[in-house]
Every structure is written in C-alpha cells, then in structure tokens.
Amino acid sequence: MTKITYREAVRAGLRAALSRDERVFLMGEDVGRYGGAYACSRGLLDEFGPERIRDTPLSESTFVGAGIGAALGGMRPIVEVMTVNFSLLALDQVVNNAATLRHMSGGQFSVPLIVRMATGGGRQLAAQHSHSLEVWYAHIPGIRVLSPATVQDAHDMLLAALDEPDPVFLFEHALLYPQEGDLDESLGPADLEHAALRHRGEHLTIVTYGGSLWKALAAADRLQAEGIGADVIDLRVLRPLDMPTVLESVARTHRALVVDEGWRTGSLAGEISAQIIEGAFYELDAPVSRLCSAEVPMPYAQQLEEAALPQVQSIVAAAKELVTHG
C-alpha cells in the first residue's frame, strides 16, 4: 500500500499500460516534452520514446479521429484531451464514429480506444474551462463513461479500460490531481460495472461522483456529528449506471439527495432522480432532492465560483432539509 497523489496514480497506470502491451501509446496536447497539462505523463517520453508518447497539434477532432483509426487498426491508443470543453471539437468523431462503428459494421469492428480528460470547476478558470459535461457523454450508446474519484480508481480503472473492446471515456476532476490517497497495485482489475458505497448511514442516500464525492463525504461526517446518518454512493460508472446499488440504498434510507456539478436542466442528477422514482417510488418518504451547479456560465471571481458550485455546507443544508421537512 502506497500513499500517492491522484496524478501519480494516473501516471502509474499509464506506465503500467505502456509496459504491459506494446500496442498501447499515449497521444494528446503537451503529453510529451511538457509532461501533460496536469503532469500526469511527466517522464514517460524519456522512458518510452516519441513513438509511444506523441505530442499532437491543437486539433481535437484530428487526434481523437486518429485514435479511432489506430484502434480500428489493432492498436490500443490512450488519447488525452486537455479539458472537457476542448472535447466538444471532437464530438462528431465520438458520436458518429467511435460510438457507432461496432453497430454499423454488424459487430465486425471494435474501437478499443481510451479517451481521458479533465473536467469540473473550482479552479478559477471561468466560463470556458470549468464545465462538467459528463452527462453529454453518458447520453451516448456505444461508449462506456467512467469517473474515478479515488487514487485507487484512477489507477485501476485506466488499466481495466484497456481490456474493453469499445471506447472508454475517463473523466478526471481537475481538483483531484493533487489529492493524496492509498494505492494497492496488487489488487485485481477494477470493477467497471458497479457503484461503490463509500459511507453508510440510515437517514438518507447521497448519490454523487467525481470531485463532488469528497464534498459529500465531508458533509456526511458533519451530518453524522448531528445525528443524521447518510449513505454516500460513488457512482464511478456513469454509463451504464448501476441503479440497483442506488435503489438498494434508497430502500433502506427512504430519502435521496443527488449531488451533481453539472447544470440542473438536463443533468445526470435528473436522470438518476427519474430512475429512483421509477424503481423505488413506494420506498420514498420524501421527493428526491437535487443539488447542482447554478445555471450560469461559471464565474471567474472565487467567491462567485464557490457560490455557483455544490459545496460541503450546501450539501449539509440540503440533507437536513430533506430529513427534517421532506
């Protein structure tokens, strides 16, 4: 068991992937000489060389498309897109190619592609670099969408994704990169199917993922001190959603709060809420509650950005309201 940062766990996963399979290569903007926008690939160029650590032009549609082609040709590309907003430039490649080729070829072709990208706000990068657009990708059949929130998942999910025959998209919340946690490299392959219960309580279920997990866990500790017990479920996998785990928890607690850094309208929180109502309506003692980001372009000013995002105190307040008045 080793205590390392989230970015070091990603780097260890990349190194292990490159070492185990000569078909694996990494490409993206600044992944080589610069070592990655978030230092996740630092040192890998010297270790594996420019054929396998490839700096690309600033053209997301081009290098995501090249990754799709390489995957079709038998390689195992890992494509890094600097931030989720830049991935919008490659949506045509994702929606019309990566996600559809197995279906359109009648199962003759597979696209074993991994795309990693940073997501989320909280870094004072304002309206163009603070998006949480995971729900857009979770909407697309034909791909798997992961959101590792722990050091262990950041390492293990990347390696497990290499065994998938279809495209896998990993969303890494940028605030997590410096966060420390324990990594046990002896564990087996990561589970890419199920959510994880990270905290147990009896009064409500808090459902979340990614960067919001740690806020939810801190909120659960505060609530526990006040006599309110909360299940905290880390979704981990956003497509396909593991709703049985969520519904099992709601059947015990009878209340649900969904915390989602995305905007409320059309959010992943809305989808989860709908599935809770469809699957556990008669178990609920109160309407499902949602806590999302303010429906505004993300402000630059720190105090405004903090006000726009779900925070520990707002999760605590929403949970208290649900338990007390729900």
Do residues 145 and 158 lie in contact, with contact meaning Cβ atoms separated by under 8 Å? no
Which region holds residue 90: left if phi is over 0, alpha if psi is between -120 and 50, else beta? Answer: alpha
Residues of the chain with CATH 3.40.50.920: 196-325
Residue 325 neighbours by CB under 8 Å, 6+ apart: none
Which pLDDT does position 239 carry in this prediction? 98
Mean pLDDT of 300-307: 96
Buried b (16+ CB within 10 A) or exposed e, 215-241: bbbbbbebbeeeebebbbbbbbbbbeb
pTM score = 0.96
Residues of the chain with CATH 3.40.50.970: 2-183
d(CA 78, CA 73): 14
Q: Give the active site residues.
A: 60, 129
> What residues are paired with 289 via a beta bridge?
257
User: How confident is the model over 207-231, as pLDDT tens digits?
Assistant: 999 999 999 999 999 999 999 999 9
User: How confident is the model over 46-80, as pLDDT tens digits?
Assistant: 999 999 999 999 999 999 999 999 999 999 999 99
CATH class of 2-183: alpha beta
Mean pLDDT of 239-268: 98
Instruction: Tell me which architecture the domain covering 196-325 has in CATH.
Output: 3-Layer(aba) Sandwich (3.40)
